[in-house]
Amino acid sequence: GEDVEQSLFLSVREGDSSVINCTYTDSSSTYLYWYKQEPGAGLQLLTYIFSNMDMKQDQRLTVLLNKKDKHLSLRIADTQTGDSAIYFCAEKLSTLTFGKGTMLLVSP
């Protein structure tokens, strides 16, 4: 397909792990990004991964990249209610192309 695709919704309980998945379009993408958007706010850069890496860990966040399948995932460990937001993946070719976002709802 020609779009960056993400599942639309994920619901988890506080303390569980969350895994948000993304399929991107172009195997020549150089960087892949995860952004977080809270209601009424702009996008906050969470993390990014260079295309020659398989995994990147940053505190509670783990990014996994499968270049063969053009699949990117974001795992949030020990999910908190403050993690409730919309999460966007984006791929960089000449410009950034974003998915439609995954709404993460964390219940107490």
Partner 1 sequence: EAGVAQSPRYKIIEKRQSVAFWCNPISGHATLYWYQQILGQGPKLLIQFQNNGVVDDSQLPKDRFSAERLKGVDSTLKIQPAKLEDSAVYLCASSGPGRGYEQYFGPGTRLTVT
Which residues contribute to the site for partner 1 (CB under 8 A)?
A: 4, 31, 33, 35, 40-45, 48, 50, 88, 90, 92, 94-96, 98-101
Residue listed under structure tokens 């940053």: 58
46 vs 64, which CB is nearer to partner 1?
A: 46
Cα distance between residue 70 and residue 49, in whole Å: 13
- Residue 27 beta carbon to partner 1: minimum distance, rounded to whole angstroms: 18
Among residues 94 and 108, whose Cβ is nearest to partner 1? Answer: 94
Three-state DSSP at 36 gives strand
- Tokens (6 digits) for 68: 């063969």
C-beta of 88: minimal distance to partner 1 in Å? Answer: 5
Length of the chain: 108
